[in-house]
Amino acid sequence: MSRTFKKVDYDQALDLTVRLGDCLPSEHLARFVVDSVAQLDLSALYAKYGSRGGEPYAPEMLLGLLLYGYATGVFSSRKIERATYESVAFRFIAGNVHPDHDTLAAFRRTFLPELKDLFVQVLLLAQEAGVLKLGTISLDGTKVHADASKRKAVSYKRLVELEAQLRTEVEELFALSEQSEQPEVLDGLVVSKEITRRQDRLARLAEAKEVLEARAKEREAVDQAEYEAKLEQRQERERTTGRRPGGRPPTPPTAGPREGDQYNFTDPQSRIMKSSTHAGFEQDYNAQVAVDQQSLLIVGWTLSNHLNDSQEAEPTLAAIPSKLGTPEAAALDAGYFGPATLAACAKRGIEPYIATGRDPHHPSWQQRFAPLPDPPPEDASAQVKMAYKLKTALGKAIYGARKCTVEPVIGIIKEVLGFRQFSLRGTTEAAGEWCLVCLAFNLKRFHTLSWA
């Protein structure tokens, strides 16, 4: 039995006239991005343009391309440029023109500081639309690769060895240059150039050494606070149980850099950090987000090169725009617990719900349904009081929502959008790009909430 098939005449198809409005439905994200950008105040961006020169592309068009690109997992300026030819959505945002990748990259780098204000403006639009009502928030951090290879790093031990080796070589070359007769000088050896090359390397090593020593002092202050907190916990257990705690007492921190401390010459401000997905170490930044538990919108973000989250609550809470109001409560995991986080919440009138340790994966039914114990005494430690608060019905509800609010947001950014490495180097530039990522995520989430 023969059948008739619908075939395509590709020569004729190339001459078809396609209307972009027929390709993009009214609820398409590209239209939402264009409409949202049109409502933003871009006067700060326009103010940076000079009065002389050729006719530049409008900031709202370039901004729309970047926001839609980051919201759909296209982070490369070259790929965005190519998409203005091949993608209907990008072609619509670009208005059928094609800014080159250098223009897109320069625009992104130039206007990073202005993104902070645009981030706030988008949140205010969401608040006006009724999809954001700031209440309880969740905080979490994630490691994001820096634009640097760990192979371009040097440890403090190796740095000291190289410094001694280069100084010896410089002395040998100086002695060689002072000889009146130099029969042993190899052909092509220019002593002055070799001395200059090694002195330049010594200057770079001295800079790296200074950075590592400053980081060691910063780490010592954090370790000292943790050491004192552990001592306080041991004293609390001894006071409540009447017995001396078992195990070894905590070890006081040691001063100075460690042999394994590393400095990266490609992006000196990034740090070697332990990976959360495997047992290795990578050249990363520590990115933080504060997420509204109801809307899943990111209401605050920060970025640092700190190895852990113990000091990250203060800057992340400070990053929440005051125009949005103050959160009622905050849920944080055990990595944030400490005096700095408690003080940051108390200063802002935020009720903290912070894990005091790792919960067992498979608790027994007796543990799950155990009655609420008596409240701790007034003179109990902050850790004991927090552990009790998390066992209350309200504490279980607020902290239990953390895993299904902030962790999915980070998962979407890294797994769905695919943002796993910064394109820019340095803490300031990487922080600006992280703001762009959070801004693009909020627009995509705002679009979903608007059409729900």
DSSP summary character for residue 369: T
**pLDDT given for residue 157 in this prediction:** 86
Measure CA of the first residue to CA of the last residue in the chain; give whole Å: 48
Asked whether residue 317 carries a pLDDT value surpassing 70, the answer given is yes
In order of 170, 199, 356, the CA distances from 192 in angstroms are 10, 11, 61
pLDDT bin (cut points 50, 70, 90) of residue 224 is confident
Q: Which residue has better confidence, 379 or 33?
A: 33
143, 276 contact by CB (below 8 A) = yes
SS3 of 143, please? strand
Average pLDDT, the chain: 89
Could you report the per-residue pLDDT of 182-196, keeping only the tens digit for each?
Answer: 545 556 677 788 888
**pLDDT given for residue 212 in this prediction:** 86
Asked whether residue 169 carries a pLDDT value surpassing 90, the answer given is no
Cα torsion 191, 192, 196, 197: sign: negative
**pLDDT given for residue 186 in this prediction:** 59
Percent of the chain with pLDDT over 70: 96
**pLDDT given for residue 182 in this prediction:** 54
**pLDDT given for residue 250 in this prediction:** 81
CA 324 to CA 275: how far, in whole Å?
Answer: 34
DSSP summary character for residue 380: S
Task: Find the angle CA(66)-CA(301)-CA(411) to the nearest 5 degrees.
Answer: 75
Find the DSSP H helices in 24-131: 29-38, 43-47, 59-71, 77-86, 88-94, 101-110, 115-128
- Say which range, 190-199, 225-234, 283-292, has the weakest mean pLDDT: 225-234
Q: What's the mean pLDDT in 423-446?
A: 96
Nearest to 141 by CA among 406, 341, 338: 406
pLDDT bin (cut points 50, 70, 90) of residue 64 is very high
Which of the residue ranges 3-12, 18-27, 51-60, 314-323 has the most confident prediction, judged by mean pLDDT? 314-323
pLDDT bin (cut points 50, 70, 90) of residue 298 is very high
Nearest to 134 by CA among 121, 147, 123: 123
**pLDDT given for residue 319 in this prediction:** 96
Could you report the per-residue pLDDT of 11-49, keeping only the tens digit for each?
Answer: 998 888 888 888 899 999 999 999 999 999 999 999 999
Could you report the per-residue pLDDT of 75-104, keeping only the tens digit for each?
Answer: 999 999 999 999 999 999 999 999 999 999
Asked whether residue 365 carries a pLDDT value surpassing 60, the answer given is yes
148, 252 contact by CB (below 8 A) = no
Q: What's the mean pLDDT in 278-306?
A: 92
**pLDDT given for residue 351 in this prediction:** 95
Nearest to 390 by CA among 401, 379, 380: 401
Which numeric CATH code is attached to 132-149+272-450? 3.30.420.10
pTM of the model: 0.86
Asked whether residue 308 carries a pLDDT value surpassing 80, the answer given is yes
